[in-house]
A = this chain, B = another copy of it.
Amino acid sequence: MTTEELILQAATRVCQEKGFAAARMDEIAKEAGINRALLHYYFRSKEKMFDIIFAVKFKAFFSGVAGIFQAEISIFDKVTALVDLELSVISQNPELPLFIIGELNRNPERLIKMMQKNNVNMAAILVQLEKQLHEEYLAGTIKKFTAYAFVLNIMGLCLYPFIAKNLIIHIVGVDKEKFLEFVSGRKQEITDFIIAGMKA
């Protein structure tokens, strides 16, 4: 592993845990086992380093999701595919949702740029989704749902357990690994729950 990769890995850990404002260049350097000045040699500034970290995490968070939304499959198949993808991706990276959401306030423009760069047009996706939901409603397969409700329900059920991970761990005093194992293993249960809730 190159020094640059080593630093980036350490920086990712620290930034994800603490957030940009609370993350310290000194802590990142120590975590990487190198000197603080070397961080600036490779990345010039904290902000630029954070940009790179955010871009990687953003891709992990969104890649694949847009494709499923736009696929020509039934709405129930979309539910299954979305739950499967989200839980798979986030299980590998439990801090991801809170990191993205938490850092958003500080620099919303960054997110918008990322969306454009990755060719994700969420407004267009929602319009298309709205059409499909309406058609399936008319066909009698599902109850009436807006595209917003559809997305929020799926994301809420999949992501919230990871977002509230530390809250739950500390409140009920459960083991972190056990908890993550539990929420990651709920693919079928969540999928069934959503489909049962949507069926006409």
Interface residues of A, Cβ cutoff 8 Å to B = 17-22, 98, 100-102, 104-106, 108, 111-112, 115, 122-123, 126, 148-149, 152-153, 155-161, 163-164, 166-168, 170-173, 182-183, 186, 189, 192-194, 196-199
Contact = CB atoms under 8 A, between A and B. Distances in A.
Nearest to A120: B171
A164 B158 CA distance: 13
A136 to B, nearest CB: 16
A182 B147 CA distance: 12
Interface residues of A, dominant DSSP = helix
A33 to B, nearest CB: 23
Q: How many copies does the complex hold?
A: 2
Given A19-B102, A111-B171, A152-B161, 7 more contacts: A17-B105, A19-B21, A19-B22, A104-B167, A152-B183, A156-B160, A192-B197
A17 B104 CA distance: 11
B166 A122 contact: no
28 contacts: A17-B105, A19-B21, A20-B22, A98-B102, A101-B164, A101-B166, A101-B167, A102-B102, A104-B166, A104-B167, A104-B170, A105-B166, A108-B166, A108-B170, A111-B167, A112-B170, A122-B171, A123-B172, A152-B160, A152-B168, A155-B160, A156-B156, A156-B157, A156-B159, A156-B160, A157-B157, A160-B160, A194-B197
